[in-house]
Amino acid sequence: MRNERSLQAIFHLLTGKQAIQTIQDAHLFGIRRYYALYKGLTNDSFNEHVQMLIDRGYVVIDEDGQYRIAQASNTWLAELALSTYDWDGMTYHRFDTIFYERLLLFIQVWTNKQAQNSRYIPIIERPDIFTWIKRYYRMNHYRIHLQLKQLYDELLDIFMLLPELYPQLFIRHITTATTIGQTNEQLASQFNRTISDIYLLQMHYIHFMLRNILSDHTRYPLLYEFVADIKWDDRNQMVTKSAQETFLLVEKGYTPEQIARHRQLKLTTIYDHIVEIALHHRQFPIDRFVSEAIQAEIREAAQSLNTFTLKAIKRAVRDEISYFQIRLTLTTLQREVGDQHVD
């Protein structure tokens, strides 16, 4: 993040905070893949990891109290080869957990049904997941054996594309009629990894599966059914539902002020929504809200200063240019960053 954001901003990014600043940072700095990648990360755990990096000399704190990546980390980062992981949090964060929990519960329920065992404790307790499985079971209960065979074939096809570590993790994590899945703590001990490592490795194969399933659902018809009812487009890729409602009014030609009155929200909130819309809608016409001349002045300031810091850009442009106009213009810069940057 070019040392322009606080440590807490990184925590918010990893846990998927639904704040426009966090969302825009993910785009501006070309790190969309990390957004909401670790939704269950606690602040204490995050700080422990940061302290570990400091202790190892990979992160240093300068005289201004800023955290910076140390030269000593270069070899370690190269060995980690983070670009090889299929993480894509901004794309999949809405439904990666839903997909995976449906899959895990499906395997447990279907294998127990095939074994004619009706007494077991479901491993997933989320009501929405449980309801989906019950509904799907009612429609497919007569195809238990066929679907298990089909699922095996599709999973085999996908995991054959991954190193052996990933199918091993998956197999040991699932619960069937005859086996109890291992917890992440048990897997961490077994594979000599940290619990965080195990979670992030799971997110790698979950996102890898989703990418393959969604790019060729005819090849994985059964796995596709676990996400087929989840629709996504430019509008509902947005993180906040409130922004989706604002988008509808923007499309109808309402001004920000009219939308604020209509929805009984603060104007600053509507501005946040419009920035979020622009981030997710590449063809969004920001000229409606920021003239080309003002855009050019903002872009020149950001590029000459080599910063995405709003205050620094605001000081470099005319007083009448608002923070909203700066933020909206920066969405066009983030598109260029995203097109050039390998996450």
Q: Is the pLDDT of residue 243 over 70?
A: yes
Structure confidence at residue 156 (pLDDT): 98
CA 227 to chain CA centroid, nearest Å = 16
Average pLDDT value over all residues in the chain: 91
Structure confidence at residue 42 (pLDDT): 96
- The burial of 178, by beta-carbon neighbours within 10 Å (0-12 exposed, 13-18 middle, 19 or more buried), is given as exposed
Cα separation of 123 and 136, whole Å? 17
Q: What are the pLDDT digits (tens) for 124-170?
A: 999 999 999 999 999 999 999 999 999 999 999 999 999 999 999 99
Handedness of CA 35, 156, 227, 211 (dihedral sign): positive
CATH 1.10.10 residue spans of the chain: 241-340
Confidence of residue 1 (pLDDT cuts 50, 70, 90): confident
**The domain defined by 241-340 carries CATH number 3.40.50:** no
Structure confidence at residue 335 (pLDDT): 63
Residues 326 and 297 sit within 8 Å (Cβ to Cβ) = no
Q: What are the pLDDT digits (tens) for 42-87?
A: 999 999 999 999 999 999 998 888 899 999 999 999 999 999 999 9
